A and B are shown apart, each in its own frame.
Chain A
Amino acid sequence: DAGVIQSPRHEVTEMGQEVTLRCKPISGHNSLFWYRQTMMRGLELLIYFNNNVPIDDSGMPEDRFSAKMPNASFSTLKIQPSEPRDSAVYFCASRPGQGRTEAFFGQGTRLTVV
């Protein structure tokens, strides 16, 4: 298996533009996480899906952020409109079970908003 695949790896965009980050989880995994990593805040959980259903979205910063998981093999994280403070590395992770098992991380998307 190729692991968790995130695209793009790097994204530079201007303030106010819409940004869409993509994630393909490992086949057969039924939990999916989106995280944001910054120097100041560390690794923050944004949203957690189980069986394509959002279970915990309390970490989503504000209405500018939205996440979807239309099927078991694809998820998106959208920021509209983007702001410079959204600059961070965004990670997607997937897990085969609920809780007991290891989560596997993608390589991340480095987002820079100028």
Chain B
Amino acid sequence: QVQLKESGPGLVQPSQTLSLTCTVSGLSLTSNSVSWIRQPPGKGLEWMGVIWSNGGTDYNSAIKSRLSISRDTSKSQVFLKMNSLQTEDTAMYFCASPYWYFDFWGPGTMVTVSS
């Protein structure tokens, strides 16, 4: 069955760069897109960006300048990098697939931005 699982550092200092990994099984990255979505504590969901099956990317215009999504198809992994982190970036970060509506979600990884 399809599984996605996020992993990351948990705690990041302000102004630093966040690096997250989404490991995918049961789903080919060359046939499916993967998005990153985040949710601040007690708040709503924000779509961050997508890596398409062809490796192209699209980003939320609000955070585009800070965000990069890439992948390693041989390891079935998708990566998120976001720089210049601030406290308002504290959130649960999810990866999800496919693109239009999200049938499959990872359990999420909590990221806290604090010194």
Chain A bound to chain B: no
